[in-house]
Amino acid sequence: MTISTTADQHSFASSADFFRQAIEAAPTGMMMIDDRGDIVLINQQVETMLGYSRDELIGQPVEMLVPERFRARHPGFRNGFFADPRARPMGGGRDLFGLRKDGTEVPIEIGLNPLSTPDGAFVLSSIVDITERKRAAGQIQASLREKETLLKEVHHRVKNNLQVISSLINMQVRQVTDASARAALQECQSRVQAIGLIHEKLYQFEDYSRVPFSEYVRSLASTIFQATGLAPSAVALDLQVETSSLAIDKAIPCALILNELITNALKHAFRGERGGVIHVALRRDSDADLTLSVTDDGVGMPIDFDIEKSNTLGMQLVSTLVEQLEGRLEISREDSGTTFRITFPTEAHS
C-alpha cells in the first residue's frame, strides 16, 4: 500500500513538473489563477511582458494586473467564468489591457481554459501582447482613410471638370443658330451632366465605389425635366426603384441609358398637350441580375421600329451601352406607350 502511494505521488510530481516545463516553454504568456482569483503560476513571457518577477506576482490577486478603470468589474467576469467553465476568449469584443509594473498599459488578447485538479478549480490563461498588431492595424486604417480622402477628392474634381465642360457646351449652344446643331449640342450636354451627377453622388456618400442608384434616378429625372422645360404636372414620374447601389462601371452606362430613354420619352411620347406618366423601375431578378425598365404611356413607337437599324445617336448609344453592361434589351410596344427593359448582371462575366 505504501509502495503504491509513493508511486502515485512520484507520478503526480512528475506530471506537475512536466506541466510547469510546458508552461515555461510556451511562446506566449501563460498564467494560472485559482477560484479566489489569486495567481498561482506564470511563465517567463508574463514576466517580460508586464515587468514583474514571478515572486512579485505569485499569491497576488490577478486584479493587480488590471487597469484601474476596469478593476471593479473584473471579479464579476472572473466569477462568471468559474460558474460556466469552458475554453473561450476573454473580452467578447472588448479591448483588453494589462497593467505593467511601471504603470503603463499593454493591449493584450487572452484565452481562458478551465482546469479541474485534485487541488481545486483553476483557470489557465494564455496572454498575447498585440501591441504590434494594433500598430499595424492603425497604419492600415490611416492609409485607408488617406485613400478614401483622395478618392473623394478625385470624384469632386471630376464632377467639377464635367461641369466646366457642360458650361462650355452651353456657351457654344448660344452661338449656334442651326436648330439641329443646337439640339445635338444640348443632347451632348445632358449626357455630360448625367455622368457628372454620378460623381456628385459618389462624393456625397461614404462608399466611393458604388452609387446609391435610387437617389441618383430621382436627381437625374429632375435634371432632365428642368432641361426639357416640361412641368411635372404635365408629365409625372413614377419611380419603383429598389434601394440598391451599383458599382461605378455599371452605374455610368445605366445613367446614360436612363438619360437617353427619359429624354426620348419626354420629347416624343407626349406630343402637343398630351400628358402622362413615365415609369422607371429597377428590381433585382436574382442574386446576379438586375432589370432596369423605362415605360411611358404616350403615343407609342412605330410598329416597325428596330433599334439595331435606328439612325439616331441616342438609340445607337442605348444599344451600345446595353452591350457594355453585358445585358439584353427588350422593347414592348403598345397603343398607349412603350417599354424599354434592360436586364444585366451586377458583376462582370469572367
List pLDDT tens digits, range 103-142.
999 999 989 999 888 888 899 999 999 989 888 888 888 8
Mean pLDDT of 52-63: 92
Cell of 157: 474634381
pLDDT band of 212, cuts 50, 70, 90: confident
Rounded to 10 degrees, the C-alpha dihedral 35/37/40/45 comes to: 130
pLDDT at residue 304 greater than cutoff 70: no
Read off the C-alpha cell for 150: 483622395
Q: Which residues of 21-45 are buried (b: 16+ CB within 10 A; e: fewer)?
A: eebeeeebbbbbbbeebebebbbeb
Count CB neighbours of 10 within 10 A. Answer: 10
pTM of the model: 0.54
User: Which residues, 6 or more positions from 27, have their beta carbon under 8 angstroms from its beta carbon?
Assistant: 45
Between CA 225 and CA 223 the distance in angstroms is 6
285-307 as b/e, with b when 16 or more CB fall inside 10 Å? eeeeebbbbbbbbbbbbeeeeee
Average pLDDT over the chain, rounded to an integer: 81
Rounded-to-integer distance, Cα 83 and Cα 22, Å: 27
